[in-house]
Amino acid sequence: QTTVKTLLILGASGDLTGRLLLPGLARLVATGGAPGLKLVGAGSDPWTPEEWRDRVRSAFADAGTSGTAGAEALAAVEKDTVYHQLDVTADGPLAALLAELEGPVAVYFALPPHVSQKACEVLHPGQVPDGTRLVMEKPFGSGEESARELNRTLLTLVPEDHIHRVDHFLGKATVLNILGLRFANNFLEPVWNREHVARVEIIFDEDLALEGRARYYDGAGALRDMIQSHLLQIMALMAIEPPATIGERDLRDAIAAVLRASSIKAPYETSTRRARYTAGNIKGRQVPDYVNEEGVDSGRNTETLAEVRVDIDNWRWKGVPFILRSGKALGDQRKVAVVTFRPVPHLPKGFTGVDIPNQLRIGFGPDTLELDVDVNGPGDIFSLDRTTLNAQLNASDLLPYGEVLEGVLTGDPLLSVRGDTAEDCWRIVEPVLKAWSRDAVPLEEYDAGSSGPDRWSESSAE
């Protein structure tokens, strides 16, 4: 794979570019990960070259890279960057720009999904130079059929391994740690199955509320925003069969296989749950009812918390509940994958004390690893005590978007979602979206700042 010479960001004046892409790029450039890269911004705003350069400069400055050895590389990208005012949905201008740029070019669609889709539709196959990579943000389509349609369009332009469907959770070092933890430690893999695991929970409870994102979020909701994408990817890494290599083909084949075996089963009243926050106080910050947040249409019944039970119907996992949950405006952040093991088959008589099952917890922020073990503790030596082995994991220097961009620029799609998997993730959640839109599952409420509805592991839903 040849390294990309030019990164063209469409939607350069947008929020994603300023908040996530440019800081990610700064970390990558500062660590020497993008030598000689030319950055080109394009957007609908009539920015002067100076305005764009200022934006790049301030995003780079905020990325925590100042004073590092990479200052020169950052300055070079800033100095050479250019901006084009462009209507990407019009037939012609984007193609003309692509023809002008030094290739290979990576085109990053940092745009709302319907605009990205339109921008791809107006490109014609012959107008996309060989070697071009197309980088698509989530959500990829709005359902299985539209994802398939978008895949079809993209494949007329470039081959599959030149399409990067971004899920920035695959750029989180701790998420990728699941692979090392599972496949480099012989004590884990033999118990990583239905014989020994009672349930797996993947929880991403955030203390952020809507934060002014109604335009996007109110049409999405927690199930589409977090579970359809990020949490299914984490679940897949927790559940995959050991791949022969950590190469894009082997790893992504393994991910595809496990997701193909996954589904959320009816009745959805028992396998899913949805809720929405009402006014409350999150750590001293007053938040209004979700429906009173600016830009929210209460008629949409958008959920701000979703919890689903996924079943993986294969030899290893049959019958083990994978509980995926994510909510906004909660009092405590909890970002963790929890594996709960089954109890020992027989606890020798004479032991007293702990009878809670062991858990392994992989924290995604802060990045931690915790394993509960029961030992003969102090005092009565046959009274068991629970102790927790824990480790703080070092975060990577590259932000998740830095990792994602590294794959894009070096032409390695390993950390991007493959086309068939993008469709499959919709296939898994679509029946639930339909049931919810028929109101087949009640929309619960929880106070902002509370811990939300009880998690299933704490209630009776198993």
Which residues neighbour 333 within 8 Å (Cβ) at sequence distance 6 or greater?
Answer: 205, 206, 207, 365
Within 368-407, the residues that bind ligand BG6 by CB under 6 A are 400
Minimum CB separation from ligand BG6 for residue 288, in Å? 18
**Residue position matching structure tokens 């400055």:** 61
Task: Compute the distance between CA of residue 400 and CA of residue 410 in angstroms, rounded to an integer.
Answer: 16
Which residues neighbour 271 within 8 Å (Cβ) at sequence distance 6 or greater?
Answer: 264, 265, 308, 309
The 3-state DSSP composition of the chain as helix, strand, coil percent (nearest 5) reads: 40, 25, 40
Query: Hey, how many other C-beta atoms are within 10 angstroms of the C-beta on 343?
Result: 11
- Told to check if 344 binds ligand BG6 by CB under 6 A, we report no
- Told to check if 225 binds ligand BG6 by CB under 6 A, we report yes
Within 198-217, the residues that bind ligand BG6 by CB under 6 A are 206, 208
Among 162, 164, 168, 230, the active-site one is 230
**Residue position matching structure tokens 């030992």:** 375
Minimum CB separation from ligand BG6 for residue 213, in Å? 7
Residues in contact with ligand BG6, shown as a per-residue x/- string from 163 to 202 under the rule CB under 6 A: ----------------------------------------
C-alpha distance from residue 403 to each of 34, 176, 244 (Å): 12, 11, 22
Minimum CB separation from ligand BG6 for residue 204, in Å? 7
> Which CB sits closer to ligand BG6, 169 or 317?
169
> Which CB sits closer to ligand BG6, 374 or 403?
403
> Which CB sits closer to ligand BG6, 227 or 255?
227
Minimum CB separation from ligand BG6 for residue 350, in Å? 47
Residue 281 phi/psi, 5-degree rounding, is: -120, 120
Burial 350-362 (b: 16+ CB within 10 A, else e): eeebbeebbbbbb
> Residue 267 is inside which H or E element, if any?
none
Task: Compute the distance between CA of residue 381 and CA of residue 390 in angstroms, rounded to an integer.
Answer: 23
Residue 230 known to be catalytic? yes
Among left, alpha and beta (phi > 0; psi -120 to 50; other), residue 111 is: beta
Sign of CA dihedral 202, 206, 209, 210: negative
Of all residues in this chain, which one has the CB nearest to ligand BG6 in the complex?
225
Minimum CB separation from ligand BG6 for residue 225, in Å? 5
Minimum CB separation from ligand BG6 for residue 140, in Å? 12
How many residues in the shown chain lie near ligand BG6 by CB under 6 A? 4
Within 400-459, the residues that bind ligand BG6 by CB under 6 A are 400
> Which CB sits closer to ligand BG6, 206 or 218?
206
Query: Hey, how many other C-beta atoms are within 10 angstroms of the C-beta on 58?
Result: 12
Q: Give the residue numbers marked as catalytic.
A: 230
Q: Note the residues at the interface with ligand BG6 (CB under 6 A).
A: 206, 208, 225, 400
